[in-house]
């Protein structure tokens, strides 16, 4: 782990190549797994406030699930706030489009209906952020469904941290990201 500001950063985030490849994975991260996307409390509040403007972008299954179970819950295994999942395992906000997933929150944002793009846990994926004492810990969550993204990143020689620049800045700030880039440059030179 590397210390950058008030964070601990996994070396994998500097070393691994990664570029989402929706054409290959079809958005599997939105429909697979054993629970919904982690939410921050302020994100739950934002989604709740924007919900009426998100609903027109949801599909029938998502709407039926939303009516019955709401969009968030506390995961009983660890007490973390997460989005609810439909019976097929998909996030409540998933919308299928030609066999690929889209996010109703993102669609509402792209249409200019809301300012919020999507939960930071989704935006940062496959980086997972967690608190450890005073530190934010950033780890690479390796999952076989992201193999196409790893292969695509390798072919483009795009480091994970560079592909995820926007969400890393949203989460950690622009000064932190500048420091990350400097550390990554030093790391790369030492590895050569």
Residues 115 and 30 both lie in one domain: yes
Domain count, the chain: 2
Out of 65, 95, 119, a domain closes at 119
Residues 86 and 71 both lie in one domain: yes
Eight-class DSSP state of 91: B
Q: What local confidence, expressed as pLDDT, does residue 191 receive?
A: 65
> What distances in angstroms separate CA 63 from CA 38, 54, 84, 158, one per listed residue?
20, 10, 12, 37
Mean pLDDT by runs of 10 across the 192 residues of the chain is 90 92 83 87 95 96 94 91 92 91 95 96 92 91 87 92 95 94 82 61
- Measured CA to CA, the distance from residue 59 to residue 30 in angstroms comes to 14
Identify the domain containing residue 104 by its residue range.
Answer: 26-119
- Measured CA to CA, the distance from residue 74 to residue 96 in angstroms comes to 25
- Measured CA to CA, the distance from residue 126 to residue 15 in angstroms comes to 14
Q: What local confidence, expressed as pLDDT, does residue 192 receive?
A: 57
Residues 90 and 74 both lie in one domain: yes
Q: What local confidence, expressed as pLDDT, does residue 107 receive?
A: 96
Out of 119, 148, 174, a domain closes at 119
Residues 167 and 106 both lie in one domain: no
Residues 73 and 12 both lie in one domain: no
Q: What local confidence, expressed as pLDDT, does residue 121 receive?
A: 93
Residues 85 and 160 both lie in one domain: no
Q: What local confidence, expressed as pLDDT, does residue 21 receive?
A: 86
Q: What local confidence, expressed as pLDDT, does residue 82 receive?
A: 94
Residues 89 and 162 both lie in one domain: no
Q: What local confidence, expressed as pLDDT, does residue 175 receive?
A: 95
Residues 4 and 41 both lie in one domain: no
Out of 95, 119, 143, a domain closes at 119
């Amino acid at each position: 782990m590397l210390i950058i500001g008030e964070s601990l950063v996994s070396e994998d985030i500097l070393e691994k190549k990664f570029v989402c490849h929706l054409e290959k994975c079809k958005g599997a991260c939105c429909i697979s797994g054993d629970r919904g996307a982690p939410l921050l409390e302020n994100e739950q509040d934002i989604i709740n406030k924007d919900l009426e403007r998100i609903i027109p972008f949801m599909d029938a299954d998502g709407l039926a699930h939303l009516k019955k179970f709401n969009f968030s819950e506390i995961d009983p295994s660890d007490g973390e706030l997460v989005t609810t999942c439909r019976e097929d395992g998909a996030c409540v906000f998933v919308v299928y489009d030609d066999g690929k997933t889209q996010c109703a929150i993102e669609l509402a944002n792209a249409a200019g209906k809301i300012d919020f793009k999507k939960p930071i846990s989704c935006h940062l994926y496959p980086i997972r952020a967690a608190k450890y004492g005073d530190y934010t810990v950033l780890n690479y969550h390796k999952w076989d469904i992201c193999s196409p993204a790893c292969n695509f990143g390798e072919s483009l020689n795009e480091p994970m941290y560079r592909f995820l620049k926007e969400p890393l800045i949203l989460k950690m700030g622009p000064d932190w990201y500048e420091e990350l880039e400097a550390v990554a440059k030093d790391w790369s030179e030492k590895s050569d």
